[in-house]
Amino acid sequence: MSGDSFYALKTTTLQGQPADLSQYAGKVALIVNVASQCGFTPQYAGLQKLFDELKDRGFVVLGFPSNDFGGQEPGSPEEIATFCKKNYGVTFPIFSKLVTKAGPEQSPIYAYLGQSGSLPAWNFGKYLLGKDGKVVKYFPSKVAPESPELREAIEAALAK
């Protein structure tokens, strides 16, 4: 595994299948640690809207469920998938549940993202990645998908 790009990593889909993140190389990605029972959960709607608006321009949202904060993602993969589809019409990729917090159980995905100097302090932390798979900027949970600062950063990354 190369430490140079997020897109060098591998993970597992929500359905338990191997997933190679290299399939997103060359795209601008927003990586989000998601949870179904969080005060920020309604952000799924804005994330889906961003994905719908920008996917044809080389943008993708990648959701990584996490039960690290307040036990707010206790569901099984099937429950998570059903919740996201039924309540928010989510069509962007959601992967298997993982650990975001630093420590021996931390996912390699968050070990890589944490090299940026930021780890999520709560659910719905967002990492914007450039087309090269490097972290451009981290946005904390309170920065909504509709926020001008996030949208401007996405547009700037797409323009490169």
pLDDT of the residue at 3:
58
pLDDT tops 80 at residue 97: yes
- What are the sequence ranges of the domains in the chain? 6-159
pLDDT of the residue at 4:
84
What percent of the chain has a predicted confidence (pLDDT) above 70?
98
Average pLDDT, integer, range 49-70: 98
Claim: this prediction has a pTM higher than 0.75? yes
Q: What is the mean pLDDT of the chain?
A: 96
Sequence-distant contacts of 45-49: CB under 8 A, at least 24 apart = 45/88, 46/144, 46/145, 46/146, 47/90, 47/92, 47/145, 48/88, 48/89, 48/90, 48/91, 48/92, 49/145, 49/146
The rounded distance, in Å, linking the Cα atoms of 97 and 10 is 14
Name which of 87, 73, 74, 83 is nearest 34 in CA terms.
73
Q: What is the pLDDT of residues 125-151, one digit of tens each?
A: 999 999 999 999 999 999 999 999 999
- Looking at per-residue pLDDT, the higher value among 4 and 89 belongs to 89
Average pLDDT, integer, range 6-29: 96
Beta strands in 9-159 (DSSP E): 10-12, 18-20, 28-34, 59-65, 126-129, 135-139
Residue 4 per-residue DSSP state:
T
| CATH number, domain 6-159 | 3.40.30.10
Amino acid, single-letter form, for residue 13: T
Catalytic-role residue among 33, 67, 87, 123? 87
67 given a catalytic annotation: no
pLDDT tops 80 at residue 2: no
Contacts of 85 (CB under 8 A, 6+ apart): none
Amino acid, single-letter form, for residue 159: A
Query: CA separation (Å) from 111 to 58, 97, 142?
Result: 25, 15, 22
Task: Decide if 94 contacts 34 (C-beta within 8 A).
Answer: yes
pLDDT tops 80 at residue 59: yes
